[in-house]
Amino acid sequence: MGRIFSVQIVVATMNPGKVKEIKQIMGNIPVEILSLNDILQEKIIKIKETGNTYFENAFKKAKTVTRISGKYTIADDSGLEVDFLNGQPGVFSSRFAGEDATDEENIEKLLKLLVNVPEEERTARFRCTAVFYDGSQEIVLTADGVCEGKLATKKRGKGGFGYDPVFIPEGFEKTFAELPLSIKNKISHRAKAFKNLRRKIVDYFDF
């Protein structure tokens, strides 16, 4: 028999890569982590990220999914902040090359803007805000995480998603897309945010 959990939490994303990461990061706390696909059963919803901050976008996603599912929800929003571009694309990272841009299109635009920029000026960071939402009590828990690094001159690696193929975390020579998930989930912005959020969830449910 499978394990029975009294607490179910939905991850507000259709991205299977992100769900896999979050499940690993959240670890062995006694909750069942469900994906949005589990709830919608292959229906697709698109939640517009219209906020001016990572928190606004994450909270909007969490609140929308809780309204649909009736369950606790965790959501996050993150972005790549490039120093040479004065912090861009930031909160617009997922739509840097247009409203429905693919990861490849966003990376292509980024690399074109950084052509001939020397290594020492290619510094950047990933920033993440994660939220937990209990709609029945109108309770919001939030946590942040940052990962410093620099940008490669071309895509490298097959893992990850988003800007992972061009982001080299501080202290490493490989991109996030080249590093094993076990390492990424120790050092990434998302890992730091969700580890902080995990502690707050444990306290909230008094596990």
70-122 pLDDT, tens per residue?
999 999 999 999 999 999 999 999 999 998 899 999 999 999 999 999 999 99
Q: Would 165 be classed as within a structural domain?
A: yes
Active site residue 100: no
Q: pTM of the prediction?
A: 0.88
Q: Would 169 be classed as within a structural domain?
A: yes
**Banded model confidence at residue 44, pLDDT cuts 50, 70, 90:** low
Nearest residue to 147 (alpha-carbon basis) of 125, 130, 174: 125
Q: How far apart are CA 154 and CA 163, in angstroms?
A: 11
- The residue from 38, 76, 77, 134 that is catalytic is 77
Q: Would 3 be classed as within a structural domain?
A: no
Nearest residue to 9 (alpha-carbon basis) of 18, 22, 17: 22
Q: Would 2 be classed as within a structural domain?
A: no
Q: Would 166 be classed as within a structural domain?
A: yes
- Residue 32 burial class via C-beta count within 10 angstroms: exposed 0-12, middle 13-18, buried 19 and up: middle
Q: What are the residue ranges of helices labelled H in the chain?
A: 16-26, 36-40, 54-69, 103-113, 181-187, 189-205
